[in-house]
Chains A and B, each alone.
Chain A
């Protein structure tokens, strides 16, 4: 049984067809890349999967570990092990990064029957994970994403992923706005999470990220459908010929 199964997902926004029958089957231990030009529906797909209000399926089905997600709210999906790293992480003025992390981690732990962290234990754990991501302690004292640089925001997303230990992570353009050094740190952070028990979906516009996070499968999304799937070589083809040729051929 696959860990995440997307069956013929269709979705409209503002009465416009955005996803037009996306199907994808992702097994434990796999990394899938979804590539596509701007506006092809990549972020919409990630919002749909994570259960954002207004992004309900028109038709189709999604199963996480065999369980249908359609009746589950975003927070329930997250607690069940779905994680979205945002293309544009949201600023939360007045919400301390450390207490936000703890709230998130404890709600997941509670759900899967693990003991919740107390304050001190959590701070220790968070600092340990943060240092692996080169996230400074000082950043955890600030409000979530407020005054963070582009790179810091993305590092903080991956730090959350590391601490939440999700079954399926969807990384939406995690490479955007990163310089080479930050890209390396973030990719190392993601690679460290790869395991036989989880799966990662990397959404990206550019091939560059896939040099660092090497996918097992690559899918090309265009106008809300997957027009081509293959191995890592597909990403190189995009790099060489652009999306246009591929889209025309499809």
Chain B
């Protein structure tokens, strides 16, 4: 079934890059783009692209019409906009001192490409298609020692039916810098293929929030490569709620000692939505910490996937790797899959993982009922608490309400169908 998308889409990507010379990074990327993941390939087994393959999709034309912009209530102090995958300086605000944003030139783009090709994203469809088709690779860089107080907000919008959208972003935090960003995906197109490289140098720290809220006919195949150095810190939280199919795949390389990664996520799925958080964390050196909490709430006939691999290299002693995933099914027809995977080659490590898929806890429900709280209300309280708990743990306090409201709006729409007395 995937032959369709393979044949049609790869041909159209090739047509798109025909105009570039042979040495262009686009052509280099396109050369590797020979096939889409085989549905039997292990990491794609639970997230099949079959329905996507029945669509005829072409890379969005650079002179595609301006989309009708969604009205997002901005929470950040500075806004950066990507429309149809292209950075729009004219619609973005000025950046705080210490932050720069540039579009990479040809040779810088080739360097960027080789970093991606050296990572396990090398065969990811978004890596290949987006490097081939992106309008430009945009680099957001924070100067050495710069501590940015302002929250940067990045909007990814636009999209036209039957088109693919290719924002490519390189976030670089130089030594001892810090930054908080919130990224929001609100496309109306059919296939969104964001590609990101995030490099956090020694002693630098990044707080990153992503809200995937593309329209219901969309597919989002986000791919992230994270490279962390000595004593760097990344707090990352993703909320997946939109689209009919979103898979956010992240490969994080802990390459400097004492790096610390918190990689948390929530998905809220209803109707026939399919949401997938796939992560791989590579502990390559000693004394790094990675913590992961993933939670899902699934209603309707939705499906959820969490795949989390933690790989500890032979010399990565004193690694601390923790992973917990929990999905709650609130309808009989929803289902979730969790696939934790530990590959440990060092001996002095603390690694734990746990994955549960189930319904709400009977003891908790009864406790609430025994206090006069109705069954439906009790379910609602517990589902909200399940999410509030992880949101308050993962997100800086000033953004709790915002993220909780974002989660709540998705919950409302899926609970309306499940809980009669929904309020």
Contact = CB atoms under 8 A, between A and B. Distances in A.
Interface of A: 50-53, 73-75, 78-79, 83-84, 86, 89-95, 100, 103-104, 107-108, 111, 143, 160, 164
A75 B367 contact: no
A164 B371 contact: yes
B110 interface: no
Contact of A90 (B363, B372, B386, B389): B363
Given A73-B375, A75-B378, A92-B382, 8 more contacts: A51-B370, A78-B370, A86-B370, A89-B367, A90-B363, A94-B387, A94-B388, A143-B389
Contacts of B381: 92, 95, 100, 103
A143 to B, nearest CB: 8
B370 A94 contact: no
A75 B366 CA distance: 9
Interface in B364-418: 364, 366-375, 377-378, 381-382, 384-389, 392
Contacts of A94: 384-389, 392
Contacts of B387: 94
B364 A92 contact: yes
Contacts of A90: 363-364, 366-367
A143 B364 CA distance: 13
Contacts of A74: 366, 369-370
A107 B389 contact: no
Contact of A75 (B363, B364, B374, B388): B374
For the residues of B in contact with A, the DSSP-based class is: helix
Interface size class of B (residues with CB under 8 A): 20 to 34
A75 B372 contact: yes
A73 B377 CA distance: 14
B373 A93 contact: no
Contacts of B364: 90-92
A111 B372 contact: yes
A164 B372 contact: yes
Contacts of B371: 75, 78, 100, 103-104, 107, 160, 164
A75 B369 contact: yes
Contact of B372 (A78, A86, A93, A143): A78
Contacts of A107: 371-374, 377
Contacts of A91: 364
Interface centre among B369, B371, B385 (most CB of A within 10 A): B371
B262 to A, nearest CB: 18
Contact of B366 (A53, A79, A93, A108): A53
Contact of A104 (B366, B372, B385): B372
Contacts of B384: 94
A100 B392 CA distance: 18
Given A90-B364, A90-B367, A92-B367, A75 B385 contact: no
Contacts of A92: 364, 367-368, 381-382, 385
